[in-house]
Structure 1
Amino acid sequence: MMNISFENLEKIDTILDKLNALEQKISSEKRWLNVSETAHYLGYSKDHIHKLKNEHFLQGVHYHKKAGRVLFDKIELDKWVTTSLSKVDTKEIINNVLKGVL
């Protein structure tokens, strides 16, 4: 059986408050970002975001065109940022770029 001290019991309310605050923040956070928001989120210019998209460095799973707007999935952007460049399929990117040129 675990011994829980009175001091630790007092900390439970603080922990619950922090968990509730985190839960509220997560539920109110925006998942889909437009180009300006994506640029701000990643620290790039809007032109650079368009370039990454057009040169197929941001694969289609990271963004969707909806009603004439390009929307980026924040969760997929986070995955893209944390994926090392060695995991990028260079041949696929080159083929996609060539398809756009030819």
Structure 2
Amino acid sequence: MNLAFENLEKINNILEKLEQLENKILGEKRWLNTKEASYYLGYSKDHIHKLKDSHLIEGKHYFKKAGRILFDKLELDNWVTTSFSKNDIKSSIDSILKAII
């Protein structure tokens, strides 16, 4: 395989940018309280609680720990960027659980 010398120089630049991205990701806070989650998503705290009850799944999107609710930022990102069909995941899971029980 023949690679141009100019392309080899770009590899170091790409690796440097990847390292910068990794440092940024690792340096950010992953677990958000309700206030932080509302700021991050651009919703009110009341709306975050409504989303928690209707669309978000405990044990995936948020966790209850010592009387506090902590939201997983990575899962919130996935939830925001994933489009669902007419039936959202929570209602699908509820119907499956009802069928089992």
Same fold (TM over 0.5): yes
Q: Which runs of 5+ in 1 are unaligned?
A: 94-102
Please state how far the C-alpha of 1:30 moved relative to its aligned partner.
Answer: 1.7
Please give the TM-score of this superposition, normalised by the length of structure 1. Answer: 0.74
Q: Distance in 1 between matches of 2:32 and 2:61?
A: 11
Match of 1:59 among 40, 57, 60: 57
More helix by share: 1
**Separation in structure 1 between the aligned mates of residue 44 and residue 67 of structure 2, nearest angstrom:** 20
Deviation at 1:90, TM superposition (A): 3.1
Shift of 1:29: 2.0
Structure 2, unpaired ranges of 5+: 96-101
TM-score of the superposition, structure 2-length normalised?
0.75
Runs of 4+ in structure 1 off by over 4 angstroms are none
The structure with more radius of gyration: 1
Match of 1:90 in 2: 91
Q: Give the 5 Å matches for 1:16-35.
A: 16-35=15-34
Equivalent AA in structure 2 for residue 90 of structure 1:
S
Q: 1:76 to 1:56 in 2, by over 3 A?
A: same
Distance 1:34 1:85 in 2: 28
Q: 1:42-88 CA deviation, whole Å, 9 max, x = no partner? A: 111111101222x3322212111112211001122123221415341
